[in-house]
Amino acid sequence: MTGLPHPRPPVKRGVLRVADRGWGSYRTLTAALRAAEDGVAVHVRPGVYRESLVLDRDVTLVPEKGPGTVRVVAHHGPAVTVNGGAPVLRELTIEAGTDRGPAVLLTAGAAELDHCRVSGGRIEAVRDARPVLRGCTVENADGSGVHLTGTATAVIEDCAIRSSTGHGLTLADEAGADVRHTTVDRVTGCGLVLAGRSRATFTDCAVGHVGEAALLVQPSARPLLRGCRLHDSAGRGVLVAEAPDTAAGESRSGAGATPGAAGHEEPHIRLEECEIFRTGREGVRASGPAGLLLRECTVRETGGAGVIATGTGRVTLDRTRVVDLSGTGLAAMDGAYLDVRGTTVARTGANGVHAGGHGTVRMFDCEITTTAYTALHLAGTTKTVLNRCTVRDSAQHAVRIEEAAELLAEDCAVERPRMNGFDVKDADAVLRRCTVAEAAVGIRLDTGHRPLLEDCEVTRSADSGIEVAAGTRAVVTGGRVADSGAAGVFLDEGSVAWIEDMSISGAAGSGLVVWSGARPRVRAVTVEGTGKNGVYVGDGAHGLLEDCSVSATGFPALYVGAGATPVFRRCLVHDTGEDISLDDTADARFEQCRSTAVGVTSMPVDGEPAVAPGRPRAERTAPGPGQEPGGAERLPVVLAELDRLVGLEKVKQEVASMTKLMQMVRLRQEAGLQPPPLSRHLLFAGNPGTGKTTVARLYGRLLAALGLLADGHLVEADRSALVGEYVGHTAPKTTAVFRRALGGVLFIDEAYALVPAGQGNDFGQEAIATLMKLMEDHRDDVVVIAAGYPEDMARLIASNPGLASRFTRTLTFEDYTSEDLVRIVESQAARHDYRLAPSTTAALLEHFASVARTEQFGNGRAARQTFQRMTERHAVRVADLAAPGDEDLTVLLPADVPEAVVR
């Protein structure tokens, strides 16, 4: 009987030899592996082995004659599949089959591929496989050279992934990798792709000549790159995608998150000491919500922007260089967040930094130099902070702020822009301790906000040092302007500037120019060494100059043009050729002013108005109806308007009493006597619609008429206008609102909302602290009125001891009576050319008596709404008439009174 051959017993230890012909114990690798147990080494003779190997134990496969002599070519499926154990494949050439699927598939275990060459297919690790790739080359794969999914983790060291159709290395799901000294080169897709919640560390790796991004990261992935080079990509160097399904192409713009809060999170994606260069598009683009950190990196020679954050993107740059670019250096668009520290941006083909949308930019200890456009262009509603930054040699403006953007710049230096140093257009800006040298105009302000310049220095401007454009309000405190090519400070037509404690010197033109219609308040300003006038007050200009000193001027120290009405108080003119030059129609007033060491003096005797030589005093310009000299309203006009208000009898008595007290204060001040103690800040306690805002507006006008406020305008604010959304945001917001109120009244409605009940650590406390300091610093310049429900206002005052000392008087606004509400409707009717029939007045009185006085009742607002509803009902009624006459069109009848909400 012919029997089957006896199976070869398995070898437990030692060496098995494989040869496809002649020498060897086994003809196939598969047979040897089937026989081998843990610890066995399989030595393979040179040849081509067309097999699909399956490994699940600790065996070693090694060529007998060294690398390149043994080729394992897939018969079907992967050439090598590892399902377990810790097999070692050393110096093998592994080739995929014709299906171009994975050449090596690792489903479990801890396989090691040592100096293997894998061709025609990828290395794929799935599930919980833990492969080690050392000194391997992967080439000509489809989809991805190395692909890790599931919870697979890999160590990849001294490897090369190249010439693949698709990506170089891909991690998805929760896969992880430690990649060292590895290159990815010449792949059509992205070099490195991290998706899902994958994690990876890349050390001293190089990724170049890729078709898309060198590094693509989805938001939930966590890569760390150290000492890597990402270069020569047709797309971006680094792309942080917006959403998990975002491909490597264009990412969608996301909705903005709260930028400040996001900016304080720890970055998830980190590049340290890396170099990104020669990209076809942006060097770095972050669109997703994950934080991206570049520390001590270099971004250069990019085809687009160096670094751009869009949508929910958040980028932090620490001691990084962004240089030699064809486009913008750094950009933050939509709602993105850009945090930049110790970074250099240089030699850009467009802006150095561009911010738009509603993002946030924070820059500390940075340098921006040699930009082809404006160095920092800030637009949209962006919020930007610059601290200890230097801007040099921009081809346009150094810093341009426009639209509704906000800028806080502290301790910054601007040098040699070809246009303006800081150019503010329609936006808001606070500049503290900033210097500008060799600009066209050092600082130009053209905005409806009230920007602040504090202790700033402007030198060697080709034109004006500081320019406040037509209609602009500004506050300038401290600092100096020196050696400007034209005016030192130019205040354009209709501008309103507060300037104090600063010096102007060496201007080629006039030191301070006040143009037609401008109304500045200038205090403690020194002007010296000017080519023309020290102070030039143009035709029709106004303003107050106090405690100023003017000397060494080329033209008369003070010039006042036709019809101008400035007031000079306690000013000194000294060491110059002539002190005053007045137009024949000028109406300047000099109070306690003097001249010393002046060649030609025309300074009037104290208390006398200044009159041009030969002009009779009777020719002085008289103020218009209801106006005081300088444009302020006459007090009786404002008091009469207050008296005409419906109801509010106790409030009107209180305001009249305060007016008399403040008149006495003004008289004592003019007599050189100390004024009595006076707190002008007020609390208004009352329900909605009781006239609090109206009285606040009149109060400001009263103080202006008394000369105790410069303008008397009203600025309304509430919690949302004062309180920020994140740490460090509240104080700038509160300060910006307060600046707009300088010279007038800051009216804070529902002020109790600054201290929400039961929330001790709310940002509202910071707003209150900021307000109290500002009220102290500007005690003579602003009146603050806090308004709200009576019981809630008591809680507000109790929340901070400093509030009680600043708000010592409370005006209580009582609810309107039914008779008051009828009078308000009658007033509304007269204003809009309607009349109430006598029976309608009685119906209205009954209507208001029946209305439920709940918390939703609006008092005066309810009366105005009632009138509106009456006109609507009247329109419906009259529309049915064939030929309505004048009485039909104007008289409101009882039928037009709406139904009341009965108690």
pLDDT in tens, 597-642: 999 998 886 555 555 544 433 333 334 444 444 445 678 888 888 8
787: left (phi over 0), alpha (psi -120 to 50) or beta: beta
Do 749 and 878 lie in one domain? The reply is no
Residue 493: C-alpha distances to residues 291, 517, 538, 546, 652 (Å): 47, 5, 9, 21, 37
Do 875 and 856 lie in one domain? The reply is yes
The predicted pLDDT at position 76 comes to: 86
Q: Are 479 and 504 in contact (CB under 8 A)?
A: no
Q: Tell me the sheet residues that pair with 549.
A: 526, 572
In 353-464 the beta strands, taken as DSSP E runs, fall at: 353-355, 360-364, 367-371, 376-378, 383-387, 390-392, 399-402, 406-410, 413-415, 422-425, 428-432, 435-437, 443-446, 452-454, 457-459
Name the band, by pLDDT with cuts 50, 70 and 90, for residue 1: very low
More reliable by pLDDT, 673 or 149: 149
Strands 891-892 and 835-836, sheet pairing: parallel
The predicted pLDDT at position 691 comes to: 85
Q: Which run of H or of E encompasses 536?
A: strand 535-537
Q: Is residue 799 part of a domain?
A: yes
Q: Are 576 and 554 in contact (CB under 8 A)?
A: no
Number of Cβ within a 10 Å radius of residue 202? 28
Do 736 and 876 lie in one domain? The reply is no
Q: Which residues of 714-751 are buried (b: 16+ CB within 10 A; e: fewer)?
A: bbbbbbebbbbeeeebbbbbbbbbbbbbbbbbbbbbbb
CATH number, residue 145: 2.160.20.10
What does the pLDDT average to over 495-517? 96
Domain termination residue (choose one: 188, 222, 242): 188
Domain termination residue (choose one: 163, 188, 213): 188
Give pTM, 2 decimals: 0.80
Q: Is residue 769 part of a domain?
A: yes
Q: Is residue 469 part of a domain?
A: no
Do 787 and 835 lie in one domain? The reply is no
The predicted pLDDT at position 724 comes to: 80
275: amino acid identity, one letter:
E
Q: Where are the alpha helices (DSSP H) in 723-788?
A: 730-741, 764-777
Whether 396 shows a pLDDT value over 80: the answer reads yes
Whether 244 shows a pLDDT value over 70: the answer reads no
Q: Is residue 743 part of a domain?
A: yes
Q: Is residue 824 part of a domain?
A: yes
What contacts 315, CB < 8 A, 6 or more positions away?
284, 286, 291, 292, 293, 294, 307, 309, 332, 336, 337, 338, 339
Whether 461 shows a pLDDT value over 70: the answer reads yes
The predicted pLDDT at position 837 comes to: 87
Do 697 and 785 lie in one domain? The reply is yes
Dump the DSSP string for 91-108.
Answer: S-EEE--TT---SEEE-S
The C-alpha atoms of residue 168 and residue 146 are separated, in whole angstroms, by 6
Provide the 8-state DSSP code for 391: E
% of the chain surpassing 90 pLDDT = 60
Do 124 and 98 lie in one domain? The reply is yes
The predicted pLDDT at position 733 comes to: 85
Do 20 and 162 lie in one domain? The reply is yes
Whether 155 shows a pLDDT value over 80: the answer reads yes
The C-alpha atoms of residue 59 and residue 70 are separated, in whole angstroms, by 17
Q: Are 416 and 396 in contact (CB under 8 A)?
A: no
Name the band, by pLDDT with cuts 50, 70 and 90, for residue 252: very low
Do 748 and 857 lie in one domain? The reply is no
Q: Is residue 344 part of a domain?
A: no
Question: Which three-class secondary structure string do you get for 110-145?
Answer: CCEEECCEEECCCEEECCCCCCEEECCEEECCEEEE
CATH number, residue 845: 1.10.8.60
* 261 three-class SS: helix
Q: Is residue 455 part of a domain?
A: no
Q: How many domains does the chain fold into?
A: 3
Mean of per-residue pLDDT scores for the chain: 88
Do 797 and 850 lie in one domain? The reply is no
Q: Is residue 179 part of a domain?
A: yes
Name the band, by pLDDT with cuts 50, 70 and 90, for residue 779: confident
Q: Which domain holds residue 679?
A: 635-813
CATH number, residue 685: 3.40.50.300
Name the band, by pLDDT with cuts 50, 70 and 90, for residue 729: confident
